[in-house]
Amino acid sequence: MELGPYCPAEIIVEDAVIDLNNPDFYLNRELSILEFNRRVLAQARDTAHPLLDRFNFLIIFSRNLDEFFEIRVAGLKQQLRLNRASPGPDGMLPQELLKQIGSICHVAVDEQYRLLNEELLPALAAENIRFLRRDEWNETQASWVRRYFREQVLPVLTPIGLDPAHPFPRLVNKSLNFIVSLEGKDAFGRQIELAVVPAPRSLPRVVRLPDELTDGGDQHVLLSSIIHEHVSELFPGMTASGCYQFRVTRNADLTLDEDDMEDLASALKGELLSRRYGNAVRLEVADNCPQLIIDYLLRKFSLDDQDLYRVNGPVNLARLWLSMDRPRLNYPPFTPSIPEVLQKSENYFEALKTRDVLLMHPFQSFAPVVELLRQAARDPQVLAIKQTLYRTGPDSEVVQTLAEAARNGKEVTAVIELRARFDEASNIEVANLLQEAGAIVVYGIVGYKTHAKMILIVRREKNRLLRYVHLGTGNYHAGNARLYTDYSLLTANPELCEDVAKIFQELTGMGRTAKLKKLFHAPFTLHSQLLGLIEEERQLALEGHPGHIILKCNAITEKQIMQALMRASQAGVRVDLIIRSICGLRPGIAGVTENIYVRSIIGRFLEHSRVYYFAHGGDSKLYCSSADLMDRNLISRVETCFPVEEPDLRKRIMKEGLQAYLRDNRQSWILQADGTWLPELATDDARPAQTWLLDKLTR
């Protein structure tokens, strides 16, 4: 497709120069992430969600905030430390940004613990689900807890007295710890005033009491309460006058010098150990901890008051996830559907010769993707299977099926992205398992994460080699496929299959950039093709055609894409952005972004699919992609963007994947020009997209 050039970042409107580099047109990336996390926290307040799911939204907020500090805040602090501070498109410098982050996070964390203590815990207790405090244990329960402590906890605890011979220990990132104030002398006559007790990560943070000790329901005690109650037993002959839980969050981003290493897997193994002990970025302490001890901890971790969070409850909320079968308190279960064409076919290869198959997860099952692989692994006519793997554990059906295919003599090639953040160790296990089974394992391209989701199957049929392909917007992780919304396309389209084969050749071999017929792929053509499509929409609008662009993805921060959308808006193109989390573009600015509308859907499932639609003067174009509209995806990753061309599948995506979300007036949040998000909460005629899709697509 021939694409015209796109305009520079400065245009003329009514004889006035509008500089699209103006920082006022952009929103800060880090603050946008925090706004997303606040929308997640709001779900814990929303009584439309079942109670246990509200509680778990609170836990998701904690996990998200942990990662925000480990990666985003850590990165800002590192910029300051290395004197490499540089503003983003919004013009904010790290120093100012860290202050704003601190203000927002302190308010959000206070609200989190208020929700926990004043709303969720009382509501759970009313349903006989309790987290018993120490003063709530009866004599029988206290006796059981004492025995549990002595048999299960005490043997693995290591109290560390703090004196010149025992300096402050290196504590693992996000580990639960206690600082204990002591009176008296120890066995060596030392008068030690402070000690640290790390809670081993191998111990469960939530312990369910046996049914015979309760009046029914689900009664739990926290590990922190168990240790606190019996901490004096760790210091015989001394008195523990105070015991306060705390947790430190550290920089968990990995730094690899890819130009100076011979083996990526070995280098990663070494870095994974250092992740546990990076520079401290946040300190959480119990709110009853004395100021003198807090000041002591801040000095030890080289932090200041801005980095301190006093919390009224467990410091490790992220470990309190509740998974229990209480039908009235959980979302009702559902059975994902399987398209009729696949239900009626015992041989998926024959079915795919007749038509493409589109799956919308989690409403439609991920099982057909696994079944396609399984049939390929066992089909004597299949010669080769190639697949990219980004976040897939060694126990997954996908990985086990690939290993089976290799053992069956198929030529199996796995392109494994080892550097998928926080899944590095799991991906190394996957690589080892597949290599042991006889598969060829490669780690992609140095400097470019392989984020594309592709399977290529080569099958001999009547002396011809035919190809079959899976392309997706999500990962090959069956668990995520029940929690994330994503698209899968199963196809035997010769041009798409040939394009996928060429990309695999790029990833495993060497040579020039492949010329593709259907697919756009980063880091080569995707960015320029998207810019060209936006510019075409602008030109058509100037010629009088009704212009419309709909982009659904997780995040948009790439500056040239945002500026192209601004120019389209100025030409009268309506731009609808359905963005789950980060939006770096400020909508609603007169003369610049007044035709741009941004919404975010937060609901039962994590919105993860990427869909790009262009009206194109009535000859619409629609694509699904593995890529978000961020610099890293478009410039420094291997990504794919594939057209959906069969009319019935295009109609499905328009109706189910885009229009349903644009109509959503129950789980939508609308981005305002000042950067705030307001919920669109209809009381009558509510149209939540995810609920509608559950009714329409599941069984």
* Rounded Cα distance, 314 and 247, in Å: 10
Q: Averaged in consecutive runs of 10 residues, what is the pLDDT profile of the chain (699 residues)?
A: 39 62 96 97 96 96 96 92 85 94 97 97 95 95 97 95 82 95 79 90 92 91 96 91 96 58 47 66 96 96 96 92 85 95 94 96 96 97 95 86 96 84 73 92 84 96 96 90 96 97 90 90 97 98 96 97 98 97 96 97 96 96 98 95 96 97 96 94 84 95
The sign of the torsion formed by the CA atoms of 90, 91, 95, 96 equals negative
Q: Does 455 fall in a domain? A: yes
* Rounded Cα distance, 621 and 638, in Å: 22
Q: Does 15 fall in a domain? A: no
For the CA atoms of the chain, what is the radius of gyration?
A: 28
Residue pair 682/666 in contact (Cβ under 8 Å)? The answer is yes
**Of 486, 515, 544, which marks where a domain is finished?**
515
The sign of the torsion formed by the CA atoms of 360, 367, 488, 394 equals positive
Whether residues 354 and 502 share a domain: the answer is yes
Residue pair 372/455 in contact (Cβ under 8 Å)? The answer is yes
**129 membership: H or E segment, kind and range:** strand 129-131
Whether residues 176 and 303 share a domain: the answer is yes
Whether residues 302 and 180 share a domain: the answer is yes
Nearest Cα residue to 59 out of 72, 47, 44, 46? 44
Whether residues 525 and 665 share a domain: the answer is yes
Nearest Cα residue to 443 out of 595, 262, 578, 589? 262
Per-residue tokens: 596: 């741009």
The confidence score (pLDDT) of residue 291 equals 96
Q: Is 119 helix (H, G, I), strand (E, B) or coil?
A: helix
From residue 92, how far is each of 89, 561, 630 by CA, in Å? 8, 20, 18
Q: Does 113 fall in a domain? A: no
The confidence score (pLDDT) of residue 556 equals 98
Whether residues 154 and 294 share a domain: the answer is yes
**457 membership: H or E segment, kind and range:** strand 453-461
From residue 100, how far is each of 72, 95, 106, 113, 164 by CA, in Å? 13, 9, 10, 20, 39
Q: pTM for this one?
A: 0.91
Quote the domain boundaries for residue 689: 521-697
Place of tokens 């504590």: 171
Whether residues 355 and 229 share a domain: the answer is no
Residue pair 580/664 in contact (Cβ under 8 Å)? The answer is no
* Rounded Cα distance, 611 and 593, in Å: 21
The confidence score (pLDDT) of residue 190 equals 73
Q: Does 647 fall in a domain? A: yes
Q: Does 34 fall in a domain? A: no
Provide CB contacts within 8 A for 267, sequence distance 6+: 256, 261
Q: List the beta strands (DSSP E) in 205-302.
A: 206-208, 218-222, 239-250, 280-286
Catalytic residues: 451
Measured in residues, the chain has a length of: 699
Exposure string (b/e) for 438-462, b if CB count within 10 Å is 16 or more? ebebebbbeebbbbbbbbbbbbeee
What is the DSSP secondary structure assignment for residue 651, as one 8-state letter? H
* Rounded Cα distance, 590 and 493, in Å: 45
Nearest Cα residue to 87 out of 42, 25, 28, 44? 28
* Rounded Cα distance, 35 and 556, in Å: 14
Residue pair 485/609 in contact (Cβ under 8 Å)? The answer is yes
**Of 475, 496, 515, which marks where a domain is finished?**
515
Q: Does 75 fall in a domain? A: no
Per-residue tokens: 290: 């004395």
Q: How many CB atoms lie within 10 A of CB 230?
A: 19
Q: What is the CATH number of the domain that holds 151?
A: 3.30.1840.10
* Rounded Cα distance, 526 and 635, in Å: 9
Whether residues 511 and 527 share a domain: the answer is no
Backbone angles phi, psi at 625, to 5 degrees: -150, 155
The confidence score (pLDDT) of residue 445 equals 81
Place of tokens 């808006």: 569
The confidence score (pLDDT) of residue 269 equals 47
Whether residues 445 and 415 share a domain: the answer is yes
Q: Does 328 fall in a domain? A: no
What is the DSSP secondary structure assignment for residue 684, as one 8-state letter? S
Whether residues 311 and 162 share a domain: the answer is yes
Q: What is the CATH number of the domain that holds 564?
A: 3.30.870.10
Q: Does 502 fall in a domain? A: yes
* Rounded Cα distance, 461 and 464, in Å: 5
**Of 452, 485, 515, which marks where a domain is finished?**
515
Whether residues 456 and 499 share a domain: the answer is yes
- Give the number of C-alpha atoms closer than 13 A to the C-alpha of residue 433, restricted to the C-beta side: 21
Residue pair 248/169 in contact (Cβ under 8 Å)? The answer is no
Residue pair 392/477 in contact (Cβ under 8 Å)? The answer is yes
Nearest Cα residue to 176 out of 201, 211, 143, 207? 201
Whether residues 505 and 532 share a domain: the answer is no
The sign of the torsion formed by the CA atoms of 687, 690, 693, 694 equals negative
**CA torsion, ordered 466, 473, 653, 385, to nearest 10 deg:** 10
Whether residues 423 and 491 share a domain: the answer is yes
Nearest Cα residue to 180 out of 231, 247, 248, 238? 231
Q: How many domains does the chain have?
A: 3
From residue 20, how far is each of 317, 563, 659 by CA, in Å? 43, 6, 30
Residue pair 348/358 in contact (Cβ under 8 Å)? The answer is no
